[in-house]
Amino acid sequence: MPELPEVETVVRELRPRLVGRRITSVRVGKRALRRRWSPAWRRRLLGRRVTEVRRRGKWIVIDLDDQSEIVWHLGMTGQLTVVSAGQPRRPHTHIVLGLDEGERELRFRDVRRFGSAVWFPDRQAVERSFTEAGLGPEPFDLDRNTWRRRLAGTRRCLKAVLLDQRAVAGVGNIYADESLFEARLHPAQLGRQTSRRQAERLRQAIVTVLSRAIERRGSSIRDYVGGSGTPGSYQAEFRVYGRPGEPCPRCGRPIERVRLAGRSTHFCPRCQGNAPPANGQRD
DNA sequence: ATAGGCGCCTGCTGGC
DNA sequence: TGCCAGCAGGCGCCTA
């Protein structure tokens, strides 16, 4: 579910609800998430106060007052919300951190359990783990020449590059398709066949699409809600994702769906051209 | 280097 | 109506 706009929305909504609050209870379910929760972390967290909530790619980082940090990933169906403790706990709620006097709590709910929560002793350890994973630049900081070279140096298709968190952090299946449509580039076009102008167009398209999606508080198809528990609305503005057979909003041709980089991929065969010839550099 | 496949999980939809 | 294959906002591991 959650790509950069959804994660950004969660962070923005958690921040005012968490910063300054103290963790006074920790409850963790028995069933494992993607990464195992160490029982020792409970005592690390008790009594700590939240100093900041931030985002890196699709990761949520909660800073604590002893410099330690909790790093969350929402996987496909994760929800991280602050709610009043009286609200009934829905099924698949795996982690509950009680806050202050216990009137509110941070809840992690994740139906498919592809998400995770990991405690790190300090910021350096978190940064190290991001570096080891090769996590790439934030799309809003993406240098145009870095991006151009990245594309020029690969024979993977554009869709695969966009999904690769080492190339650019935070883009997932929805926003990859929407960005390629915005840039009028075919998802199967190879990176190395991408002209300078096309690369820059794609970079700007990513920024445009992600910014607009953040304004709409992300996309809610099924599970996603922000940090306050409210769904987003960008799904109403999808131009190709999830709309195979429907007319392209630019030219009216039916949107196509293919399998690319192992993922369902949506595009307009006219507006986004054909997969270019091996030596082609169209624009 | 990179494509492709699988596995991790649960739930929902559509076609028969 | 009921069953089951196929699909889903992610990602890491393996093989060829």
- Crossing angle of helices A173-183 and A196-215, in 10° steps, is 130
CA of A282 to C1' of B14 (A): 40
Beta partners for A105?
A83, A98
Quote the DSSP letter at residue A247.
Answer: B
| Strand B–CB A134 distance below 7 A | no
Which of residues 217-256 of A have CB within 7 Å of strand C? 219-224
Q: What pLDDT, on the 0 to 100 scale, is given for residue A273?
A: 83
pLDDT in tens, A215-274: 999 999 888 989 999 999 999 999 999 999 999 999 999 999 999 999 999 999 999 986
| Strand C–CB A262 distance below 7 A | yes
List, for chain A, all residue ranges whose pLDDT scores fall below the cut of 70. Answer: 1, 274-283
Please identify which residue in the block is written with the tokens 């909790």: A70
CA of A8 to C1' of C9 (A): 13
**Tokens at A140, concatenated:** 């809003």
Residue A263 annotated to the active site = yes
Residue A2 annotated to the active site = yes
* Prediction pTM value: 0.95
> What are the distances in angstroms from CA A78 to CA A3, A140, A173?
11, 24, 16
> Residues A90, A83: contact at Cβ < 8 Å?
no
| Strand C–CB A156 distance below 7 A | no
